[in-house]
Amino acid sequence: MAENNPQGMVLKEIQARLDRKLKESEIEVLEYWKGHLDRVTSMKPEGVAALQLQVKKIVEMMGNRIKILKREG
């Protein structure tokens, strides 16, 4: 029944666009953080401590970004 309703069709189109945009945003975010992790995995750390330090930096970056997003929202 909603297919015959112009408002229903518009809502479906808006929902589809929103879903696409959310998916694109999620892909961008994952690619960004994957890039950071790829750099860590390509490193040749001298020990576990150096690796831990790099992982902690990424965790801090993620935490800071989350705080910023929560303030904006």
Annotated domain spans of the chain: 2-72
The vertex-11 CA angle with 19 and 13, nearest 5°, equals 55
Q: What is the mean pLDDT of the chain?
A: 89
pLDDT higher than 50, residue 1? no
State residue 45's pLDDT score.
Answer: 77
Q: Who's near 51: CB < 8 A, 6+ residues apart?
A: 40, 43, 45
pTM of the complete model: 0.69
| Long-range Cβ pairs for the range 15-24 (8 Å, 24+) | none
pLDDT digits (tens, 9 = 90+) for 30-59: 999 999 999 988 988 788 888 899 999 999
Residue that has been written with the tokens 């992982």 in this structure: 55
